[in-house]
Amino acid sequence: MAQAVQKLMAKVPTLIGAAATYSKPRLATFWHYAKVELVPPSPAEIPQAIIGIKNIVTGVNSGRLGQTTVKDAFRNGLVCTEVLMWSYIGECIGKGGIVGYAV
Amino acid sequence: MHRKGGCQPPFKTARWSFLLIGMFYGKQRYDYLKPRAEEERRVEESEKKIREEQEKIAKALAEGKSKPIRML
């Protein structure tokens, strides 16, 4: 029993090293995209954002959005879902827990 | 590998605004649920005490009934 524990403890540094080498490129990719995508909008960009949303609304009203291809529509749907999912992440932050409310 | 022009402002603002809305909602819901949960716990505590008293009485009665009467 003691020998098994000792063997396990000897393996821990190698496991940590392996985890680090595995995660480094993936973290690099994540950071590479996060630097562009997840940066909060600067105050100058907010009017542009409002204009962009207005364009979408006019697109819906004029029927232009009915002309999108299925591929484009699928991609846009995925992007919308991702944007909406951020509200759940915000809820987790607000309630101070991942699963359920800690009341 | 990025698309031309980077991440457009509408998406950035939408992401961050949904994040903030979610945080706000989570906090409000937590503040709404917390006093209710405490109240429920208090009520449950007091009812549990009453229930345990009654169970003790019922058990004592049952034992009293099941014990055979000793012949004097």
Percentage of chain A beyond pLDDT 70 is: 100
On whether any CB of chain A is under 8 Å from the CB of B18, the answer is yes
* B26 Cα to chain A: minimum distance (Å): 4
Of A40, A95, A103, the CB nearest to B26: A95
Tell me: the pLDDT tens digits for A61-81? 888 877 889 999 999 999 999
DSSP string, A30-78: HHHHHHHHSSPPPTTHHHHHHHHHHHHHHHHHHTGGGG--HHHHHHHHH
For chain A, the residues whose C-beta falls within 8 A of a C-beta of chain B are 33, 36-41, 45-46, 48-49, 52-53, 56, 79, 83-84, 86-96, 101, 103
Query: Is the pLDDT score of A35 beyond 80?
Result: yes
Question: What is the structure's pLDDT at A48?
Answer: 86
Classify residue B64 as exposed, middle or buried by CB count within 10 Å of its CB (0-12, 13-18, 19+).
exposed
Under the banding of pLDDT at 50, 70 and 90, the label for residue A59 is confident
Confidence of residue B24 (pLDDT cuts 50, 70, 90): very high
- Whether the model clears a pTM of 0.80, i.e. scores above it, the answer is no
| Amino acid sitting at position A70 | V
- Domain locations in chain A as residue ranges: 1-67
Give the whole-number percent of chain A exceeding pLDDT 90. 26
Interface size between A and B, measured as CB pairs under 8 A: 100
Residue of B nearest to A33 (CA): B2
pLDDT tens-digit series, residues B25-62: 999 999 999 999 999 999 999 999 999 999 999 999 88
Instruction: Provide the residue type at B40 as one letter.
Output: E
As given in the structure block, the two tokens for residue A92 are: 């987790």
Tokens of A48: 């542009």
> How confident is the model at residue B1, as a pLDDT?
59
Closest partner residue to A103 (CB to CB) among B11, B23, B37 is B37
